[in-house]
């Protein structure tokens, strides 16, 4: 299949659902792109685990201050009202339920909302890290991911086979083909690319896709 959204387009779609003034943590890597696509008239307050709240856009190349970085070691800028704090206080914010949204990547998402977004092995990491706190501390957990792995295996599955980051924590999934909610232990299809049939989408999904009302076309700009 060649009709798929790019990572930037997936990030754009996710950004449209962030409310003005929401406190948001963006996972390392692909989810960081969401900050680029805030809708006009809305401004999220971004949080990073290493201890910054309300930071600004990425600096221009050559203008980086490498004392100012996010959890993914990317340079950030400060703006009026930016706050700095110890990472222990940062995690107190996370664990205390003060974040409105956490947006992360995924290896697998199960139909009951279980999330696996880390792995061990030769290309793995030594531990799950702060993601396990984020997925159970934030009020809403969204996932950005390609709909399948590079070799075509479903990433939306009946049950995760990789180490879990969190149990029953995911509420919405933005993929390269669809927008899917997790409700009552099942995947509920909300939007899909018009060029992809329901049968084709189901064949690329490892658990049943349920329909609750109409399914909107997933439309995004060229970004």
The domains of the chain, with CATH numbers, are: 7-212 (3.40.1080.10)
Q: Which letter, b or e, does each residue of 96-130 get, where b requires 16 or more Cβ atoms within 10 Å of its Cβ?
A: eeebbbbbbbbbbbbbbbbbbbbeeeeeeeeebeb
CA separation for the pair 223, 122 (Å, rounded): 34
CA separation for the pair 119, 164 (Å, rounded): 9
Q: What is the pLDDT of residue 95?
A: 95
Q: What is the pLDDT of residue 56?
A: 87
Q: What is the pLDDT of residue 219?
A: 95
109 φ/ψ angles, rounded to the nearest 5 degrees? -130, 130
Q: What is the pLDDT of residue 6?
A: 96
CA separation for the pair 46, 53 (Å, rounded): 6
Q: What is the pLDDT of residue 3?
A: 86
Q: Give me 164's structure tokens.
A: 């879990």
Q: What is the pLDDT of residue 191?
A: 98
Please identify every residue annotated as catalytic. Answer: 49
Residues of the chain with pLDDT under 50: none
């Amino acid at each position: 299949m060649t009709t798929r959204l790019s990572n930037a387009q997936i990030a754009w779609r996710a950004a449209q659902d962030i409310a003005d003034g929401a406190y948001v943590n963006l996972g390392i890597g692909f989810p960081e792109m969401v900050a680029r696509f805030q809708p006009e008239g809305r401004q999220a307050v971004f949080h990073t685990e290493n201890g910054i709240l309300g930071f600004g856009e990425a600096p221009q190349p050559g203008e980086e201050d490498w004392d100012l970085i996010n959890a993914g070691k990317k340079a950030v800028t400060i703006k009026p009202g930016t706050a700095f704090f110890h990472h222990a206080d940062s995690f107190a914010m996370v664990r205390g339920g003060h974040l409105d949204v956490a947006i992360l990547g995924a290896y697998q998402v199960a139909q009951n909302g279980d999330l696996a977004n880390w792995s061990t092995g030769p290309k793995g990491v030594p531990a799950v890290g702060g993601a396990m706190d984020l997925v159970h501390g934030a009020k809403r957990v969204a996932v950005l991911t390609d709909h399948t792995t590079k070799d075509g295996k479903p990433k939306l599955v009946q049950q995760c086979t990789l180490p879990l980051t969190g149990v029953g924590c995911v509420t919405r999934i933005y993929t390269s083909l669809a927008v899917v909610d997790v409700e009552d232990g099942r995947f509920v299809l909300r939007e899909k690319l018009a060029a992809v049939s329901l049968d084709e989408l189901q064949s690329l999904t490892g658990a049943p896709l349920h329909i609750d009302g109409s399914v909107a076309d997933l439309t995004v700009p060229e970004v």
